[in-house]
Structure 1
Amino acid sequence: MDGLNEQRAARIADLLSDFRTLQYYIAAAPVEPQHEDDYYTEGWAVLRQCSLDGQHILNCSAETRVPRVQGGPEEQAKAELQHVQLDAYARRHEAQKIYLRQEAAQRWIGWRDHTLQGQRPQASHLAGLENCDAALRAELAAIIDDSIYSDMSSSDYQMGRWTLEDPSPRQIQRWIRDRR
């Protein structure tokens, strides 16, 4: 018995609180453009996909099979808490990725609106709109798991959260892969 089950439970509560906040932001993002002919543009397609991904990460089932361990009830509780922590951490990680993608797409909307200046797209806007799309693609390409993991870990540390048993990036990737 290591006496850390209270810290494990508090860590899970922090992770689930972060996940809930991210889900709120994901659900609040727009998915329908004001103009019907903008529906299939890149940024709006990203926003719709993020909405679907947010629903998926919320609705995918947790792995409930926790291995039986030796050492009595306290050790079994430890194993169960570590199992739930991986689930909560991975969900938060994936929600953060979705949220960052949504932010990029919403910036794209702003760039596009600035380029169009209240007009509907026409040939004179083509270069500017292509630049908006290229900037969106570059931002999306920069949203990678390693940087998300590093940023979230750093943030947790700065907030004084207990991170001693946080799952590795590899464990998180396995969790995400298993739910696709």
Structure 2
Amino acid sequence: MADGYNDARAMRITEIMSDFRNLQYYISQIQPNPAPEDYYLEGYTLLRTVIIEAQAVLASSYAYGAGTHPRGDAENEKTQLRSVLVDASVRRFQCQRCYLKAVAGLRWMRSRNAILGGQRPYTGHTAQLQLVDSQLRTELAFITDEQVEYSLRAQDVSQGKWLSEDPTLAVIQQHLRIRRQ
């Protein structure tokens, strides 16, 4: 039975896809240009990986029962909107994770550049560069699914968005497992 929330569901999908688009735009602007000898350093490798992951999310097809048009049937529309809401939420989650990793990678890059001051690394930089590498690894270790979900939820709550039917972290993780198969 239709519950009268289809307009709210559609608006929520629009909000989530807007967040997704903004994250994709931000990630697409990242263009690390390391010197050839620095190409395989941890931070630069991370940034390239994040860009590829974000592009893969964008290129992935809708996988949740793309069926017939609900043709004015409110109950079928509700079902379809819920499926789209899950898909949009999973994509936004994936891009948020990429974004958080990208921020860590960019912080690593800026820190490294500040230490080097335009010079090539030499033994006097070793301790500082190792510290920056260690900080990157520590920051990446804190980018868990729970932290990604919390960052999205906190943002949505602070903006007063309707979250009643947003999928839980467990549902998002389940759909991510299915997509990997």
Give % identity.
Answer: 40
Report the alpha carbon displacement of residue 32 of structure 1 after superposing the two structures with TM: 2.8
RMSD: 1.6
**Counterpart mapping for 1:112-151 below 5 A:** 112-151=112-151
Q: TM-score, normalised by structure 2?
A: 0.92
Distance 1:41 1:48 in 2: 11
Point out the more displaced range, 119-128 or 58-67: 58-67
* Alignment check: 8 A CA contact 1:57 1:94 kept: yes
Gaps of 5+ in 1: none
Matched, 1:44 2:47: no
Report the alpha carbon displacement of residue 67 of structure 1 after superposing the two structures with TM: 8.7
After superposition, the C-alpha distances for 1:34-54 in whole angstroms (9 at most, x for unaligned) are x11110111100000001001
Distance 2:44 2:128 in 1: 17
Report the alpha carbon displacement of residue 66 of structure 1 after superposing the two structures with TM: 6.0
After superposition, the C-alpha distances for 1:84-118 in whole angstroms (9 at most, x for unaligned) are 00000111111011011011111101111122122
**Counterpart mapping for 1:157-172 below 5 A:** 157-172=157-172
* Alignment check: 8 A CA contact 2:64 2:87 kept: no
Runs of 4+ in 1 over 3 A off after TM superposition: none
**Counterpart mapping for 1:8-27 below 5 A:** 8-27=9-28
* Alignment check: 8 A CA contact 1:19 1:91 kept: yes
Aligned to 2:8: 7
Report the alpha carbon displacement of residue 64 of structure 1 after superposing the two structures with TM: 3.7
Aligned to 2:32: 31
Structure 2 counterpart SS, 1:31: coil
Structure 2 counterpart SS, 1:61: coil
- The letter for the 2-side match of 1:136 is L
Question: How many equivalent pairs are there?
Answer: 176
* Alignment check: 8 A CA contact 2:89 2:167 kept: yes
Distance 1:8 1:87 in 2: 13
